[in-house]
Amino acid sequence: MGNVGTQAETDLTALEKELLSSIESASDLAALDDVRVAALGKKGKISQLMKELGSLAPEQRKSFGQAINQIKQSVGTAIGDRKKDLEAAALASRLEQEVADVTLPTRSGALAEGRIHPISQVTEEIYEIFADMGFSIAEGPDIETDFNNFTALNIPPEHPARQEHDTFYFDPKPDGSRQVLRTHTSPVQIRTMLAEDPPIRIIAPGRVYRCDSDQTHTPMFHQVEGLVIDKHTHLGHLKWVLEEFCKAFFEVESVKMRFRASHFPFTEPSMEVDVGYAKVGDEIRIGEGDEWLEILGCGMVHPNVLRNVDYDPEEYQGFAFGLGIDRVAMLKYGMPDLRAFFAADMRWLRHYGFLPFDIPTLARGISA
């Protein structure tokens, strides 16, 4: 039996050697699979040997069986290893063929092309700041009654202040009344107070119109009106709101502000407000330097205006302000020419416009 065993074991060793060698020399996955079938397939050499096991004597069966299993295992492992190698080689060779010229340009896509107009962007910045201070947003029509635009605001007919407004008019109605293109956003004060009871805390942004056109004036521009009415808001609160606004809007730690006495028929006391700035090259730096730039008009709401909307001026009080949106946009972002805002030149809009994802919020910072 020893002979049988020895002979058989010698054969097995040769077979293993032969199989391992053909695995090693299999040049691709198909050839490797042929080797696998020839060795481990149903009719493969190792499978055949397994089948012969049954005809062996029980004492031989055990050791021979162990030997075959060992070969089966080592051949199986060798095939597995070789397969991995061949697969890796095949992938490497495929990848070598697959070369894209990654310098070819792609489409930049819609997000990079589109722009938000600076007026819209700055208006949203203003919303964000005043919303945090509890102001809601009111609106009114562009074509206004003479009453809302002037008379209710304590500017009676023939008042010299009317001449300063360069008003666009419409043809008189059969009853003699005449509508106007609103010359300021202040009529929204009247609309709001006629419709609501105090307390009121609103801003009202929008288009306004003056019959004036030159280097620094356009017949249409944008204002935001502010109005607070309650039982205790005074000039000190107005100063605070405007200072907080300017710091938040220009994103500076402190801002120098100058309140100059002035006159608006619908506020009393009335003030114009300047901010301090320095000009460094073409850049305007708010909060530095000692030059002054006027940015808004404001004051305590005139008792006559309160009476005109049936509020009792002894009970209610508050402030109003009007800010030029175009003007503060120019100051903050450095556009040199107001007229270009409305010329719809793609080059200007692309250059000064904002990306669609530049969404102003207080959490991320209001500017882009």
Task: Kindly identify the residues of this chain, within the stretch 189-208, that bind other proteins according to CB under 8 A.
Answer: 201, 207
In Å, what is the CA distance from 139 to each residue of 206, 222, 311, 334, 353?
Answer: 8, 13, 21, 28, 24
CA distance 39 to 23: 10
Q: Determine the interface stretch with other proteins among 31-39, 83-91, 232-240, 277-285 (rule: CB under 8 A).
A: 232-240
* Binder of other proteins out of 67, 147, 303, 368 (CB under 8 A): 303
Contact 111, 356 (CB under 8 A): yes
Q: How far apart are the first and last CA of the chain?
A: 91
Please report, as residue ranges, which positions from 242 to 271 form the binding site for other proteins (by CB under 8 A): 243, 258-263, 265, 268-271
Q: Is 276 helix (H, G, I), strand (E, B) or coil?
A: strand
Using CB under 8 A as the binding rule, whether residue 134 contacts other proteins is answered as: yes
What DSSP designation does 240 have? Answer: H
Residue 344 binding other proteins, by CB under 8 A: yes
Under rule CB under 8 A, residue 114 binds other proteins: yes
* Nearer of residues 26 and 267 to other proteins, judged by Cβ: 267
Smallest separation (angstroms) from other proteins to the CB of 307 = 10
Q: Toward other proteins, which CB reaches closer, 80 or 170?
A: 170
Taking the CA atoms of 193, 196, 200 and 203 in sequence, report the sign of the dihedral they define.
negative
Give yes or no for residue 115 binding other proteins (CB under 8 A). yes
Q: Compose the 148-187 pattern: x for residues touching other proteins by CB under 8 A, - for all others.
A: ----------xxxx-xx---xxxx-------x-x------
Residue 147 in contact with residue 174, Cβ under 8 Å? Answer: no
Q: Which is nearer to other proteins, 37 or 211 (CB)?
A: 211
Amino acid at 11: D
Comparing CA positions, the residue from 320, 329, 298 lying closest to residue 123 is 329
- Contact with other proteins (CB under 8 A): which of 9, 87, 113, 196? 113
Query: Among 164, 137, 136, 139, which Cα is nearest to 150's?
Result: 164
**Residue 67 or 220: which CB sits closer to other proteins?**
220
Tell me if 353 contacts other proteins by CB under 8 A: yes
Site for other proteins in 49-88 (CB under 8 A): none
Residue from 300, 320, 329, 338 touching other proteins (CB under 8 A): that is 300
Question: Which one among 8, 46, 116, 229 touches other proteins, defined by CB under 8 A?
Answer: 116
The reply on whether position 287 binds other proteins by CB under 8 A is no
Residue in 10, 12, 16 with CA at minimum distance from that of residue 35:
16
50: left (phi over 0), alpha (psi -120 to 50) or beta: alpha
